[in-house]
């Protein structure tokens, strides 16, 4: 019986809407993004649920953002901070160990690096001032525990601190951070939370940057349904199953559970 009920929900958009109070069905991801931009953010903090090795072969969140959503920011965004950094080999064993530990833990596919480069190339062509994080040797050492494995808590705190510091630097230099000169942040979907769960609060720059800009931070999380349908945090949300049902029916869903907090759930990719 439970399988039959799930099938019926997936096949009926109206049922999905009834189960998803903060949801709106919109014509396309681009239309959903335009609606988010109507909030006139000074900082647009975009977070993605990452692709991992072995995930279904569908377009990633960052690829969709670069191709379909970023053009809507032409003439509006002046600076970009991406949650990534360059390897230079100057930190020896600490750099190699930390890099290997990050790769082992995150399980990102090899294509991710090319897609990040594609985003940076596209924003550069738009005249945007690009920034990445600067990680020093002490930072690499701080990312590892005594066994040489990734210290997840320390790594999350490090990334939050680095992104926040870079964003404040951009604002201080007046490169961006106003509704007329938007600062775009792109990274993981934990750090940008404006209403983080208690256990994730230490790792989020959302509340502090919102205070810094007088409440002009808008959070946008990008959800590829094939990546997130079993996410242990999302499945606890009362709106999630209804939103998934709409996505499986081929709908673009914009979820707005809190002021200035948006989640864009892409339509499920049709199987060929």
Q: For residue 143, what are the CA distances in angstroms to 47, 83, 139?
A: 21, 15, 6
**What is the pTM assigned to this prediction?**
0.90
**Quick one: pLDDT band at residue 18, thresholds 50, 70, 90?**
low
When the pLDDT of each residue in the chain is averaged and rounded to a whole number, the result is: 90
CB 246 within 8 A of CB 204: no
Residue 97: the pLDDT is 92
pLDDT higher than threshold 50 for residue 263: yes
Which tens digit of pLDDT belongs to each residue from 120-178?
999 999 999 999 999 999 999 999 998 888 999 999 999 999 999 999 999 999 999 99
Give the residue extent of every domain in the chain.
24-265
Which tens digit of pLDDT belongs to each residue from 182-202?
999 999 888 999 999 899 999
């Amino acid at each position: 019986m439970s399988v039959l009920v799930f099938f019926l929900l997936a096949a009926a958009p109206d049922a999905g809407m009834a189960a998803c109070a903060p949801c709106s069905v919109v014509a396309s991801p681009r239309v959903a993004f335009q609606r988010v931009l109507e909030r006139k953010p000074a900082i647009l903090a975009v977070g993605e649920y990452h692709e991992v090795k072995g995930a279904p072969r569908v377009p990633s969140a960052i690829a969709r953002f670069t191709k379909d959503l970023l053009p809507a920011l032409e003439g509006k965004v002046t600076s970009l901070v991406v949650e990534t950094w360059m390897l230079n080999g100057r930190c020896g064993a600490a750099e190699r160990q930390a890099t290997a530990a990050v790769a082992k833990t995150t399980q990102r596919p090899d294509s991710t690096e090319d897609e990040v480069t594609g985003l940076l190339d596209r924003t550069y062509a738009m005249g945007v001032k690009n920034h990445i994080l600067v990680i020093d040797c002490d930072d690499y050492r701080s990312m590892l525990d005594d066994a040489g494995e990734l210290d997840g808590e320390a790594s999350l705190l490090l990334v939050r601190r680095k992104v926040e510091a870079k964003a404040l630097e951009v604002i201080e230099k007046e490169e961006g951070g106003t509704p007329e000169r938007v600062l775009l942040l792109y990274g993981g979907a934990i750090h940008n939370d404006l209403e983080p769960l208690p256990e994730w609060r230490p790792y989020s720059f959302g509340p502090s940057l919102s205070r810094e800009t007088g409440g002009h931070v808008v959070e946008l999380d990008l959800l590829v349904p094939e990546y997130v349908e079993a996410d242990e945090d999302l499945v606890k949300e009362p709106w999630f199953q209804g939103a998934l049902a709409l996505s499986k029916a081929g709908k673009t869903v914009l979820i707005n559970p809190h002021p200035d907090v948006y989640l864009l759930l892409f339509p499920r990719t049709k199987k060929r």
